[in-house]
Chain A
Amino acid sequence: MSTDLNLVLVMLANLAMLGSSRLSACIRLSAAQGILLSLLPLQLELAEHKLAPRLALFALTILVLKGVVFPALLMRTLRTADVRHEVVPMVGYVSSLIFGVIVLCFSFWVSSRLILPHPAPSPLVLPLALSTILIGLFLIISRKTALMQVVGYLVLENGIFIFGVALANKTPLLVEMGVLLDVFVAVFVMGIAIFHINREFDHIDVNQLTSLKD
């Protein structure tokens, strides 16, 4: 499987998340995205015909965290919160999909203007990293259920990950691990917070969180 195919599949997962109203489908898509991303560093290294054990360990950690642990945490929160659909998002699904395509075009335009220290391994890396980041941000601001915003945060982080792995491939393992730990803690804390919000307010609609109860 080539890097390009992997990146296009990541983008397709982004578009599917923009167009899907089912929270469980979005969580599964983010898990699939995490698994695809864990293959990315391996693919980039194999293209240069070398594979360090350090990198294999790193890929395995990503696979377990993004492909298994985060989705499992979110699924557990989903079950306890008893919400299945994003009912009325701020921006509709059709408009979100159109926005996704516009963001993609914009990212291609921006990345044609950026000057990189090292040449990118594939012409798709930079634009797809940028559009994944932007789509993650968009998911955070356009969806009302708190769980969907966590998924958006994960997508955003996935974009940053593509950026880091592909463009700064000499990033020390320690930095990557630090970032992963941050994300892990964030998802963990958000999962617990959503659980408490749900118990307190009987919903996880962030629009109604401004009306505080005693």
Chain B
Amino acid sequence: MEVATLLPLAVTLIMSPLLLGVINRTKAMVGGRKGPPLLQPYYDLIKLLGKGAVYSRTTTWVFRAGPIVSLAGCVLAATLVPLGGCESLIKFHGDLILLAYLLGLGRLCTVLAALDTGSPFEGMGASREAMFSALAESAFLLGLAALARNTGATSLTQMHAALADGAWSVSGLTLALVTVALLVVFLAENSRIPVDDPNTHLELTMIHEVMVLDHGGPDFAFILYGASIKLWVLGALIINLVLAPSAGESVADLGVALAGMLILAVLVGLIESTMARLRMPRVPQLLVGATALSGLALVLEFGGIGK
């Protein structure tokens, strides 16, 4: 096994919390504050890992399994995604569907763990998460299907390689539609602002945060770390799509992709600073809109645009 195949995974595991730091720093700077240090998410993780966990007597093994399974799902998903010029660690035909459902499995376990606490707030958060992610999933899968149709490949690594040979000049229209749809999915899945506010601790408006209220110590560290890997994985899909590798040299391309990830994080920070969170009834509209964009891209691909 070459070292280069391990590189994207290693980078993901090490650098993913940094994205959260960059987003928070951007938000602080736009808001005129100094903000927490860039490495604050790492300090949080280390602090949480050193603590003990408290479990409610009403919870069962489902509650304890939730954070572990969701972290495992996110790490496995990270092995499937290429970055820059580097191929992913695991690649086979149809791995894009496995990617979608590994993330789905993690979400399912978080939702079950939230329901297991028996707290009405967490049940509310769980039902919202389940509904919104079901809508986001259709946008995600249709977008990936449009990409697969465009590149003629069903593996993320092959798709990535096919995008490199000038796909943007041939069918930039559909790729742009898919990029916008994936960006909406990226924001929704990572509970960023137009859909959910990661900072709010008002139960009535929270989605993701409310589900993990009862987790503490190492469990909460797993959840935070899993969330940051998910942020990285979905972001990497967008970056792979927008910045297809061009230098042909994997190290240089990896550098470009990493710079792209940081720019994406700054972009998310800017979106969060300039937009308000949508009202709950508007969120499905946004997600179905993203689905419509993905669907339009897929239909255009089948309609033979630009071919």
Contact = CB atoms under 8 A, between A and B. Distances in A.
A105 interface: yes
Nearest to A102: B295
B285 interface: yes
Count chain B CB atoms within 10 A of each CB in A5, A11, A104 and give the residue with the most: A104
Given A12-B296, A15-B292, A108-B303, 8 more contacts: A11-B296, A97-B288, A97-B291, A100-B292, A101-B292, A101-B295, A101-B299, A127-B303
A96 to B, nearest CB: 9
Interface of B: 173, 177, 284-285, 288-289, 291-293, 295-296, 299-300, 302-306
Given A4-B173, A124-B300, A19 B289 contact: yes
B145 to A, nearest CB: 13
Contacts of B173: 4-5, 8
Contacts of A186: none
Given A101-B295, A104-B295, A104-B296, A15 B289 contact: yes
Contacts of A100: 292
A8 B288 contact: no
A58 B302 CA distance: 33
B300 A8 contact: yes
A108 B284 CA distance: 26
Size band of the interface chain A makes with B: 10 to 19
Nearest to A111: B303
A208 B8 CA distance: 62
Contacts of B284: 94
A105 B292 CA distance: 11
Count chain B CB atoms within 10 A of each CB in A5, A94, A98, A105 and give the residue with the most: A94
A97 B296 contact: no
A93 interface: yes
Q: Which 4 A-B pairs have the closest CB atoms?
A: A101-B295, A94-B288, A97-B288, A123-B304
B282 to A, nearest CB: 9
Chain A contact surface mostly: helix
B181 to A, nearest CB: 12
Contacts of A124: 300, 303, 305
Contacts of B300: 8, 124
A180 B306 CA distance: 32
Nearest to B304: A123
Contacts, number: 53
Contacts of B285: 19, 93-94, 97
A117 to B, nearest CB: 21
Given A5-B173, A15-B289, A15-B292, A105 B299 contact: yes
B289 A104 contact: no
A4 B172 CA distance: 11
Contacts of B302: 108
B299 A104 contact: yes
Interface string A71-113: 0000000000000000000000110011011001100100000
B303 A123 contact: yes
A19 B288 contact: yes
Contacts of A104: 295-296, 299
Interface in A1-54: 4-5, 8, 11-12, 15, 19
A98 B303 contact: no
B254 to A, nearest CB: 33
A101 B296 contact: yes
B288 A98 contact: yes
Given A5-B173, A97-B288, A15 B305 contact: no
A116 to B, nearest CB: 15
A94 B300 CA distance: 21
A143 to B, nearest CB: 16
Nearest to A95: B288
Contacts of B293: 12, 15
A11 B305 CA distance: 14
A123 B292 CA distance: 20
A15 B295 CA distance: 11
Contacts of A94: 284-285, 288
